[in-house]
Amino acid sequence: MRERLAIYCNVHLVSDATGETLAGVMRATCAQFDNILPVEHSYFLVRSARQLERVIKEIEEAPGIVMFTLSNLEHRALLEDACKAMDMPCVAVLDPVLDITSRYLGQELNHRVGAARKLNAEYFKRIDALDFAMYHDDGQQHIELSEADVILVGVSRTSKTPTSVYLAHRGVKAANVPMVPGVPLPPELFAKDRPLVVGLLISADRLIHIRRNRLVAMKETRAGSYTDEEDVRREVMDAQKLFEREGWPTVDVSRRSIEETAAAVLNLLAEHREP
């Protein structure tokens, strides 16, 4: 059977803010199509007609799909008219959601540029959570583990750090503690008043594959017990036994993305917080 060739597609992302929403929507959309490789053209913090004119010129030179989030009505009209003249598909990705919300609430939109990035208590909460995640990464400052919202525990290469950082962006203070053979875990993990502890599980075969790839990337030739099949399987089994003995909820990260792992942890945290 012949392998299907990849299809390249220009995607222009135009935003008057940081463009994070657009990037997320674009990648989620393209993931639903096989063999589609988007060529991303990003134009962020576009807040003047002159900037927009330069954007339109680049769109004309590389035809493709145009996705935008622009609050200024004149700029929206300018971009939409230009795309219509070029027969270019153009979509305001938030319009359907904003329209439904506006009608449900019975309120008009404020059309403030960058309103989603307004500095408020929630913003500073996320910054604090990110600082906490960095300060308590990989078992550091375990005396302060009681201040965490959640503690992730797992053997090496179970995505503890990136999951902690992702949770921090959701305003969750996440610490992570590695399970290292022969090294005792901090006693704070077993205190009665400890925060929620979540064990990160992974299949031995998947873990061996990840660790070997990491060593190759680091051009490291000495592997030892880090990738030895028997040792790795023992590590995984010991972790599972510990989680079961302590009654800690677990998340299997073997085939999960960071986002999926974080979502599962957030669900466990919501259950934990219920009275």
Question: Which residues fall in the annotated binding site?
Answer: 154-161
Cβ neighbours for 69, distance < 8 A, ≥ 6 positions apart: 14, 15, 16, 17, 19, 21, 22, 92, 93, 94
Tell me the backbone φ, ψ of residue 189, rounded to 5 degrees.
Answer: -65, -25
What is the DSSP track for 218-263?
A: TT----GGGT-HHHHHHHHHHHHHHHHHHT--EEE-TT--HHHHHH
- Residues making up the binding site for ADP: 154-161
Contact by Cβ (8 Å): 42, 68: no
Q: CA 269: distance to chain centroid?
A: 17
Report the distance separating Cα 146 and Cα 247, nearest Å: 18
Report the distance separating Cα 149 and Cα 197, nearest Å: 9
Tokens read off for 65? 């799909």
Which H/E stretch holds residue 187?
none
